[in-house]
Homo-oligomer: A and B are copies of this chain.
């Protein structure tokens, strides 16, 4: 066994090393990890839940946003925090109700920028009728925090019978994606490399996926949903394969990927399957309902929704990609830090 002495950037990257830290220092340490039969710490889901007496659940999520730069093509840290919070609730079957923010900001930060960030946050939350019910505000000297660490907690209501989770993915399910992958990761990567002028069409997809998830619930046979953020498709699908004890095969030619994103990923040496999205969802749906779901998604504006793969029984825990050239490769959960401070 490796002996860990210090924290590395990879521990915060959302890939395999983050999983190890969470397992070792949180899941194994804490004894009280859930309320009643709710979703708890060791479920490692996008939200935790507390069961209600009517058979529904309250859903809760928390995330700290450390994205760099805080203003990026397609959004800013305020829009991202509100979006990420909403999506973490929505993919569990929850209707988001309320949010709370906690801001740690550097001394000397521009009030004008703060206003822009808060306006973006407000825009996203209020579009979906989500209340900001409270928060915290702290300031640290400039050498002690870089611009802003913005934490947001979200609260939602999961009506009776609507809770979905990773382990509900079933052999035979089709995997549907609501839009092109890797757009947020590509935008941050481009911004960090100072290439915005060369790649003006690369923008974060940062947007709530509530309407996609709500549309999915009008189609029966939805087993799970997930927003592939840190670690991208590779992390999300490996999570499903491991937790549901299934394998997942993805047909590369079906995966929507914008040409510019493909080119810049290649140029920067990054597999787009590991790049974060902030505005798409993966949905595992019964085979017989998959076409209907894709059509419904296209109807409401997700023009590039696709069936990209299917769930199988054999080779439990693996994600395989049938490549465009006809080969088969194992898609591993990402290791190391792909793009720092991606969200």
Binding site for B on A (CB under 8 A): 4-13, 18, 21-22, 25-26, 29-35, 38-41, 45, 47-48, 50, 58, 60-64, 66, 68, 97-98, 100-112, 114-115, 118-119, 122, 125-126, 129-141, 143-146, 149, 151, 153, 155, 340-341
Number of this chain's copies in the assembly equals 2
By a CB distance below 8 angstroms, the chain B residues around A25 are 114-115, 118
Decide: A6 near B108, CB < 8 A? Known: A32-B131, A33-B132, A100-B60.
Answer: yes
- The 16 sampled A-B contact pairs (Cβ below 8 Å) are A5-B111, A7-B114, A9-B139, A12-B137, A29-B118, A30-B132, A32-B131, A34-B133, A38-B133, A61-B100, A64-B138, A68-B144, A141-B340, A145-B145, A151-B151, A153-B153
Quick one: closest B residue to A154, CB to CB? Answer: B153
In whole angstroms, how far apart are the Cα atoms of A8 and B137 in the complex?
12
State A155–B154 Cα separation when bound (angstroms): 11
A169 CB, nearest partner CB in chain B, Å? 20
CB–CB A149/B64 < 8 A: yes
**Complex partner residue of A98 from B4, B21, B48, B134, CB under 8 angstroms:** B48
Return the chain B residue nearest A63 by Cβ: B136
Asked whether A109 and B7 contact (CB < 8 A) given A41-B132, A64-B102, A104-B64, the answer is yes
Residues in B whose Cβ lies below 8 Å from that of A4 = 111
